[in-house]
Amino acid sequence: MLRRMLLASVGAIALAGTAFAADLPLRAPPPVYVPPPPVMTWTGFYVGLNAGGTWGSNSVDVTTVPLNAFTGNAFPGPTSIAAALAATGTQSANTGGFIGGGQIGYNYQFYNNFVAGIEADIQGVAGAHATSNRFGSVDALSSVGFPGNFATVDTTVHQALDYLGTVRGRLGWAITPTLLIYGDGGLAYGGVSSETGIFGQNIGVNLGLCCGNPSFFSNGGISTTRVGWTAGGGVEWMFLPNWSAKVEYLYYNLGSASYSAGFATALAAGGVIPVGTPIYGLASQSSTHFNGNIVRAGINYHFNWGAPAPIVAKY
């Protein structure tokens, strides 16, 4: 009898423990880790491509001076002065064309919204050249009583930009985490060329009697790499975590240069002076500027090397 009572008690206790355990709350599983979104930053290295247009409004100043007559003849004096006056003048050299190339740079974002950096680029240029012709005619002998004798001159100038590169510092402000406005400036260098050609002829009855109607020509130029400065600004949009697009304007100034446009000799074409005799000469000098404007669009890939690592929560 006692045994039966003990067994019944043990069974009742077991049933009561099971019911009590069923009433206890279940323990929740640990939360699933969700990584934080990437930190948006402009800090890091980047490379990219750009393309756009360039134009410049320059001029070439041509100065020509008469030299002493080689023969001592009385008439080449005013004739050479007329030829020099006809060849002297200022001509426009308005260039314009396509520009495109690549860039590499580094940005550093600080104080939340400020972005400082440095960028280097180099571009090839197509079609950025200009040619200008100027025709001049000056009366040669009317001042000494021989009207109708004059010098006619056709002066041609050519200018071109072959390539352009810059190394610029940049300072900007992030209006939003993904939209940056900036100004920049620094060193500019480029391959440029300029050339002047002069062709003329002296015409008149008196010249026909003394030495014919001589023609003359000269040509000279430079082709070199010039170093100057550049400044501008733009806006850049980070449309994906590692990709940005930009539009910018730059003004560049590669300075000025002077070069000899050559030495022209007028040779007698007949008359009292033997054919082929040098009767006078002209020396010509040209000077010009090399500056212009660029508007271009570009795309950059950001490596984010050197950017701060995101903070990862620990559980």
222 versus 280: which is more confidently predicted? 222
**CA nearest to 282, candidates 268, 266, 293:** 266
Quote the strand ranges of 67-113, DSSP E.
89-110
Torsion sign across C-alpha atoms 57, 295, 125, 47: positive
User: Given this model, what pLDDT does residue 273 score?
Assistant: 79
Angstrom CA distances, 43 to 105, 114, 166, 304, stand at 11, 10, 21, 6
pLDDT digits (tens, 9 = 90+) for 34-69: 666 566 789 999 999 999 999 998 999 999 988 766
Predicted local confidence at residue 311, as pLDDT: 43
> For 72-114, how does the pLDDT look when each residue is reduced to its tens digit (9 = 90+)?
555 556 777 888 888 889 999 888 999 999 999 999 999 999 9
Mean pLDDT of 225-251: 97
pLDDT at 98: 97
Interatomic CA distance for residues 64 and 287, integer angstroms = 12
In the chain, domain spans: 60-302
List the one residue out of 196, 194, 197, 198 whose CA is nearest residue 86: 198
Report how far apart, in Å, the C-alpha atoms of 230 and of each of 52, 166, 168, 189, 283 are: 16, 7, 8, 9, 35
Q: For residue 11, give the 3-state DSSP assignment.
A: helix
Q: What pLDDT sits at residue 197?
A: 94
Q: For tokens 């003048």, name the residue.
A: 89
Q: Do residues 140 and 204 lie in contact, with contact meaning Cβ atoms separated by under 8 Å?
A: yes
Tell me how far apart the alpha carbons of residues 56 and 227 are, in angstroms, rounded to a whole number.
Answer: 16
DSSP state of 106: E
